[in-house]
Amino acid sequence: MLNVFTLANGRLFQEEIESLEELARFKPIWVDLEAPTLEERRWVKQHFGLSIPEDAMDEDIEESARFFEEDNGELHIRSDFLIDDDENPRAIRVAFILNEHNAALKSQGVLFSIHDEDVPVFRLLRMRARRMPGLIENAKDVLLMLFDADAEYCADTLEDIYDDLEQVSRQVLAGNVTDNKAGEVLSAIARHEDMSGRIRRNVMDTRRAVSFMMRSRMLSAEQFEDARQILRDLDSLDSHTAFLFDKINFLMDATVGFININQNKIIKIFSVASVALLPPTLIASLYGMNFQYMPELSQKWGYPFALALMVISAVVPMLYFRKRGWLK
């Protein structure tokens, strides 16, 4: 899918392109390619003179090779954007190409973004740009605002994680955590720990991308200050993720502690039963010995006497354990 975005009256407008002729009618500041076809790549090549690298969305590119500037003045940035999906949370690799210096190409002043699937942050920026005139003035603003929206998206996700952990915390601290409930709690904690880790990695990636833009000296004074504000926001997210990791570890330890308590209760039951049945077992073994002279064996009351003795020997320890509170 090929979408172009143009500026009109300070607002960002989107147009979906279905032919090379349609592409030639617009002067966009942002060209977004979602899972581009070979034909769409060819349109971009013919109209803008831009060749999209085959490895633009490759996940195996080394970290140091994700931010660079070509000899022709094209700035290349490959950054990850978070998708908070309950079933499959993940990060999407997005390749950005920006030509700010080479006036010989039609791509000058146009931001190109290439990705495999829809990114929530992009939708968030489009909504903002339509509602807030003057938010974006050029392609560099688009790129900066994307990173700013990414930071806000991560912050919203962290708030959702915190709210979910509050519910988990109430369940754990309420006590009486059964094994089934403990399993559900551990599953929820594991999901949130995984998402928190993804957010931390995404924050680190965004910080590197913004820092690269600042070092490239492509930003105006106002844009440079906006970039510094984005870095400050990312720093605050780092401290918040650290707090969430501490909370997750606490809830994990508390839940595992309740599981151990439940296991100890089961072991205690077996231990009490073993001790209570030890005297009857001893009595039964005594009367099971093959001695010739055992007076009780020849008496009519011998059998009921042995049964009564075994019952009493089992009940007395149980009463003692109950008095000491070991059966609770």
* Distance in angstroms (rounded) separating the CA atoms of residues 10 and 16: 20
According to CATH, what is the number of the domain 261-324?
A: 1.20.58.340
Which pLDDT value is given to residue 147?
92
Which residues are CB-neighbours of 7 under 8 A, at least 6 positions away?
13, 29, 136, 137
Residue 199, classified by CB atoms within 10 Å of its CB into exposed (0-12), middle (13-18) or buried (19+), is: buried
- Domain 2-260 sits in CATH at 3.30.460.20
CA pair distance 60, 70, nearest whole angstrom = 20
C-alpha–C-alpha distance, residues 285 and 302, integer Å: 15
Residue with tokens 């094994």: 179
Q: How far, in Å, CA of 24 to CA of 20, rounded?
A: 6
Q: From its phi and psi, is residue 85 left (phi > 0), alpha (psi between -120 and 50) or beta? A: beta
For the chain, the structural domain boundaries read: 2-260, 261-324
Structure tokens at 237: 């997210």
Which helix (H) or strand (E) segment is 112 a member of? strand 111-115
Distance CA 183, CA 259 (A): 9
Helix or strand (DSSP H, E) at 297 = none
Look at residue 228 in the predicted model and tell me its pLDDT.
Answer: 93
**Going by C-beta distance under 8 Å and a sequence separation of 6 or more, which residues neighbour residue 128?**
135, 145, 149
How confident is the prediction along the chain (328 residues), in pLDDT tens digits per residue? 788 888 877 778 888 888 888 778 888 888 888 888 888 888 888 888 777 777 666 665 665 667 777 777 778 888 888 888 777 788 888 888 888 766 667 777 888 889 888 888 888 888 888 777 777 888 888 889 999 999 999 999 999 888 888 888 888 877 777 778 878 888 888 888 888 888 998 899 899 889 888 888 788 889 899 999 999 999 988 888 888 888 888 888 888 888 887 788 788 778 877 888 888 888 888 777 777 777 777 777 777 888 888 888 888 888 887 787 776 6
Contacts of 307 (CB under 8 A, 6+ apart): none
